[in-house]
Structure 1
């Protein structure tokens, strides 16, 4: 559908891409990943035609349409209702609707045959294009993205940037382009909306490319990962979890190949140095020097998993109770956010506050911080020192400070060496620390603000969407920092991987009260699913007639059950044999990839990688089938 061949693109004298290639097929669900600054968003702009490549070619199949959701759309403004803006996706249907209305208006005074014929043709085309359902489709998608029915007639201009982005996403989804390109789509979505978009994209009938730092979203949506690294587009045939495993394996193989090649290079250089001046060996020395010049060098493996090498400490220990809210209520005019809510937080609690936008999560953080007046009582515990991180606080950074000065200002007791070590963990190395705050990107400012929060002497942290604008490497650093932090914190986040990694309790707002689930996010999700299933089942049980229930099927008594067990046992044995055979093929593929000679032939290397990927996928599928068969056998008793 779209073929990228030998693409090269430069920013000044820096190559973002050099001889990079990728083929996008219909129905592909691609996750585009890589460190910040490697050119992921640039590639999307190149595909859509906003930028032109310096070399190579991007070719598209005839009739291929592209929809591109990017951060530039945040600035789009309109006085039209959001439903009307979303309906702009149906350009032809809207033209037909206007023409039908014009003909009907003319027919009020003129009932000529030619008008009747024209009306029939217009209505036939309008119906063929599902024109009568476009409004219901637009309403369904907008409400799926979190808008209420009453919101649909409000002007787009009244909504914040994040909500405007949702309208533009709805418009793109309604257009159903051949290739849907989404640049950080989850940045402006709450958890229910993220889950809705996941399901929509999973069932989307055309190709999708997603740039995202949300691991859970990539795992659930994508069947292919493309990593931007070393100016190339590296293909992985699986979701993000598969990519992590495959990347580790490739790195191990590449590391071995690199070390072997370096040993060979050192040996050859010693030979050249020793014999280049000897007449009898000079020719051989020259030959080997030419061989070194022609050699395709194996790249060294770069460790992209930064580690936190220091501990965040505070000197003042708080009392047992960090926070208490008693009979707290909060309203904005007639809109009630909290009503007679009570909550207690104890020392060492690590809490994630989750839920849909508009439920009051950020308001609750401000209530805890004491910046929001409330009815009821808010009490901080003995010796509690808190600090509050929120997106708007990026504006409080002193833009004339360097990064290093800003961190030292946050904690004057830290030495320059300590501050540089901390900034290194947040990916500011070398002379980066002397950059002025005013020249930093939004993501870089977020990292500075987070570093300030974590080096403060606070023993209680309030963090509102700390992972927004952070890449996966930075999120990993924040996870490590919060895991080793010995104080207490409340975090608002829609990043499920992040929440699962750092939270030991879950807070959620239900019926205007703050409620607590005493477990991890994954356990909370299971519990919520059970609640929903019980809520659905309860009305059915209530209306069921009190008649005799059907007898439960007896286990292991019928000949049918016995036959089923034999069939299943045969299937299990066969699958076990297949897994053994596939494991042998996997070892053969690994041995082939471990042979350094293969790295000199790009075609053979690609074939070997493909063979290895295919056998990995077959092992996974066969193992799943074996597990399902074993579960069926257990159920039969």
Structure 2
């Protein structure tokens, strides 16, 4: 990209910006919200045309672009078939081979035989016999069960469909792979798998992400979008932070020195302007000031914030106690006879793969989800629950400051403006209507409301979703200063590392606790895995073989019946999920219509219905995952 400029109205996103992407570069594209990171990717992809400047691409440069627009893609094909579309040339060869084999039933000519041999050589050169295995490996790596692979794409939620599109792009192996917030729809194990894949990726990668650990683990340079320019740093995100700090110090010193020189020059001009003997010197210095290349003052985006939390009452020592608690949705077991305690001052991160019931556990702890067993809230506990549906619960016709006032705290407008300032809403920003805010801005408003609630126990479900790096760092500072108790579900390791003093995870339907920081937990987990691997390796082969017991005929017959029943249940659930998704889409259209949008009552009713469908869909998805697992086990018994 040479001297690239791009304007939106009268505002320049880029002006004379240049960037050279070389083969095998792994670039993290960073910058504050609104600086034009996603726009730059669209310009490179050819979706937008620059106002001036040019983009040159090598003849063999293919581009793969993962962006949020792909969420709307639907297909009747299975996710395996959608992923296999990455090998369209190889699949075309397979069709030609099949057609040639059909022709050979009636035509044995040497010409046809030669054509078949040529096609088969091409197919083998394209590694056609391994493409299915490759597609399965990538899909399973980013979180799909083996039994998911033949399920139609359209029956999956938007986040899971985005995973399929990511798999397809990874399999296509374009010369330049561009990923816009790829971790938004991935759980922690899937994020780590993608990191490892990108490390060994043969082409160039440009990734926009707010996940600092993800950037650290898979990029080797950073390009910052700032002041309408592209500034490159050679190193990962941690290197960029240190290097930028040094550059800012140098720039600030240069700015201050220049300002001192300008003041001295202006004093000289003012002092001797009227003296004829000094006129030449005065004119010379006036011209020098006019030609001066001015150094900009440093604007530090790394805001340090000071939150003043106040509680109307302090909680007792026990905040929540779950005693032999069980939770299931029909045959789908989430928790079974589990006991755990949250004490005052605990700062807990609940981690793990999707589908384990983390959000369900948060609702159990909040007291909104019925359970078997004993669930007790402690003395003087005041709760506040933050989840993604809090964004939909914001009154879109309110200004930001109105929304904060109506949150019910006793804070004055000045205090509320101070809190909003911490969340990057300054001066006139507080008078913006909720309906014009971006997803990230709405998240910041909803989080600010949660933190001013005077609650001494916070439940935070994916609070970093939609937040940029700067906003995540602000949230970490807020929670470090928070003297109450909280539990958070998150896949952002930088965030977890910054706030948690305990780690929870769900294993075998029980809540397990590691009493330490995230880094300590990772080290402990690695030691455990090494120990288990060593034990398995040393176990005699005969002993392992003896574990495979013959299944009696009576059990085989029962397994066949159970399998048929489970498969029928799965079909019904898939139909129900599809029906709910259709209803959700209808409600989305309804809520966007001017008639409903302008009527607060109608909008609230429609929103309540939408949330009910969303919760039901989540329950059905969990049940679907459990059924797929059970079907897989039954198929193993019968194989």
Q: TM-score, with normalisation over the residues of structure 1?
A: 0.84
State the match for 1:188 in structure 2: 185
State the match for 1:225 in structure 2: 222
- 2: CA distance, partners of 1:112 / 1:324: 80
Deviation string 1:385-405 (CA, Å, 9 cap, x unpaired) is 111111122100011111001
Deviation at 1:544, TM superposition (A): 9.2
Deviation at 1:102, TM superposition (A): 1.7
- 1: CA distance, partners of 2:100 / 2:359: 52
Secondary structure at 2:539 match in 1: helix
User: Are positions 1:393 and 2:383 aligned together?
Assistant: no
User: Are positions 1:464 and 2:461 aligned together?
Assistant: yes
Which residue among 148, 151, 156 is the counterpart of 1:151?
148
- 2: CA distance, partners of 1:342 / 1:359: 17
- 1: CA distance, partners of 2:112 / 2:372: 67
- Give 1:33-44 correspondences, 5 Å limit: 33-44=30-41
- The answer to whether the 8 A contact 2:2-2:16 is kept is yes
User: Are positions 1:244 and 2:244 aligned together?
Assistant: no
State the match for 1:15 in structure 2: 12
Secondary structure at 1:59 match in 2: coil
Secondary structure at 1:515 match in 2: strand
- 2: CA distance, partners of 1:132 / 1:26: 28
Which residue among 500, 503, 507 is the counterpart of 1:503?
500
- Give 1:357-368 correspondences, 5 Å limit: 357-368=354-365
- Give 1:102-113 correspondences, 5 Å limit: 102-113=99-110
- The answer to whether the 8 A contact 2:409-2:453 is kept is no
State the match for 1:27 in structure 2: 24
Deviation string 1:545-575 (CA, Å, 9 cap, x unpaired) is 9xxxxxxxxxxxxxxxxxxxxxxxxxxxxxx
User: Are positions 1:343 and 2:311 aligned together?
Assistant: no
- Give 1:480-499 correspondences, 5 Å limit: 480-499=477-496
Secondary structure at 1:35 match in 2: coil
- Give 1:618-629 correspondences, 5 Å limit: none
Deviation at 1:259, TM superposition (A): 0.4
- The answer to whether the 8 A contact 2:2-2:54 is kept is yes
State the match for 1:407 in structure 2: 404
> Size of the alignment, in residue pairs?
542
- 2: CA distance, partners of 1:14 / 1:499: 37
Secondary structure at 1:353 match in 2: strand
- 1: CA distance, partners of 2:175 / 2:116: 31
Which residue among 247, 251, 254 is the counterpart of 1:254?
251
Deviation at 1:97, TM superposition (A): 1.3
- 2: CA distance, partners of 1:29 / 1:126: 31
Deviation at 1:329, TM superposition (A): 1.5
State the match for 1:420 in structure 2: 417
Deviation at 1:289, TM superposition (A): 1.6
User: Are positions 1:50 and 2:44 aligned together?
Assistant: no
Deviation at 1:73, TM superposition (A): 0.9
Deviation at 1:105, TM superposition (A): 2.2
- 1: CA distance, partners of 2:274 / 2:43: 52
State the match for 1:604 in structure 2: none
Deviation at 1:539, TM superposition (A): 2.3
- 1: CA distance, partners of 2:83 / 2:374: 44
Secondary structure at 2:18 match in 1: strand
- 1: CA distance, partners of 2:421 / 2:318: 34
State the match for 2:285 in structure 1: 288
Deviation string 1:572-610 (CA, Å, 9 cap, x unpaired) is xxxxxxxxxxxxxxxxxxxxxxxxxxxxxxxxxxxxxxx
- 2: CA distance, partners of 1:490 / 1:434: 32
- Give 1:289-368 correspondences, 5 Å limit: 289-368=286-365
Which residue among 200, 204, 212 is the counterpart of 1:203?
200
User: Are positions 1:115 and 2:126 aligned together?
Assistant: no
- 2: CA distance, partners of 1:102 / 1:277: 96
Which residue among 526, 531, 535 is the counterpart of 2:532?
535
- 2: CA distance, partners of 1:518 / 1:310: 27
- The answer to whether the 8 A contact 1:327-1:377 is kept is yes
- 2: CA distance, partners of 1:115 / 1:392: 62
- 2: CA distance, partners of 1:283 / 1:362: 76
Deviation string 1:471-499 (CA, Å, 9 cap, x unpaired) is 11111110011011111000000010110
- 2: CA distance, partners of 1:282 / 1:440: 56
Which residue among 94, 98, 110 is the counterpart of 2:95?
98
Mark the runs of 5 or more structure 2 residues left unpaired by the alignment. 543-639
State the match for 1:124 in structure 2: 121
Which residue among 56, 73, 78 is the counterpart of 2:75?
78
Which one is further off, 445-454 or 53-62? 53-62
Secondary structure at 2:119 match in 1: helix
Secondary structure at 1:60 match in 2: coil
User: Are positions 1:381 and 2:408 aligned together?
Assistant: no
State the match for 1:268 in structure 2: 265
Secondary structure at 2:206 match in 1: strand
Deviation at 1:309, TM superposition (A): 2.4
- 2: CA distance, partners of 1:166 / 1:129: 25
Which residue among 475, 486, 492 is the counterpart of 2:472?
475
- Give 1:442-461 correspondences, 5 Å limit: 442-461=439-458
- 1: CA distance, partners of 2:390 / 2:115: 60
Deviation at 1:96, TM superposition (A): 1.1
CA distance 1:334–1:108, change in 2 (3 Å): farther
CA distance 1:544–1:151, change in 2 (3 Å): closer
Q: TM-score, with normalisation over the residues of structure 2?
A: 0.83
Secondary structure at 1:293 match in 2: helix
CA distance 1:117–1:525, change in 2 (3 Å): same
State the match for 1:622 in structure 2: none
- 1: CA distance, partners of 2:101 / 2:378: 72
Deviation string 1:210-253 (CA, Å, 9 cap, x unpaired) is 11111111111111111111111111111111111111111111
State the match for 1:591 in structure 2: none
User: Are positions 1:133 and 2:116 aligned together?
Assistant: no
Which one is further off, 280-289 or 35-44? 280-289
Deviation at 1:384, TM superposition (A): 0.9
Deviation at 1:273, TM superposition (A): 2.2
